[in-house]
Amino acid sequence: MRIYMQTPVTDDSPPRYYHLFLQEDLLGGWNVVREWGFQGASGRMVRDHFATREAAESAIISGRDAQLKRGYRVMFMQGEERPR
């Protein structure tokens, strides 16, 4: 699963981006990678480890919902939410 979000473009500053994606590790666990910053500049990256894919997907959805409340818009989404 991969979600790329961005704030609306304004005249006074470049848009901000927020990128969430899922990565399987070599031991069968899952990482949620979060990247954010201003377009065209170096940003920050954080990885959070989860034992199951379901827990990692839940974290991605929670992260997406939190950023939507802050004014970000989903620009690209790959993969699907699994039914609960």
Q: Write out pLDDT tens, residues 48-72.
A: 999 999 999 999 999 999 999 999 9
Neighbours of 84 (CB within 10 A): 7
When pLDDT is cut at 50, 70 and 90, the band that residue 11 belongs to is confident
- Over the stretch 19-48, which tens digit does the pLDDT of each residue have? 999 999 999 999 999 999 999 888 999 999
Residue 78 sits at φ, ψ, to 5 deg, of: -125, 135
The answer to whether residue 82 scores a pLDDT higher than 80 is no
DSSP 27: T
Q: Which residues contact 57 (CB under 8 A, 6 or more apart)?
A: 1, 22, 81, 82
The pLDDT, as a whole number, for residue 81 is 61
Only one residue has tokens 């409340």, namely 69
d(C-alpha 37, C-alpha 30), whole Å: 23
Average pLDDT over residues 6-13: 88
Beta carbons of 20 and 63 less than 8 angstroms apart: yes
Only one residue has tokens 């005249």, namely 11
* 84 vs 24: which has the higher pLDDT: 24
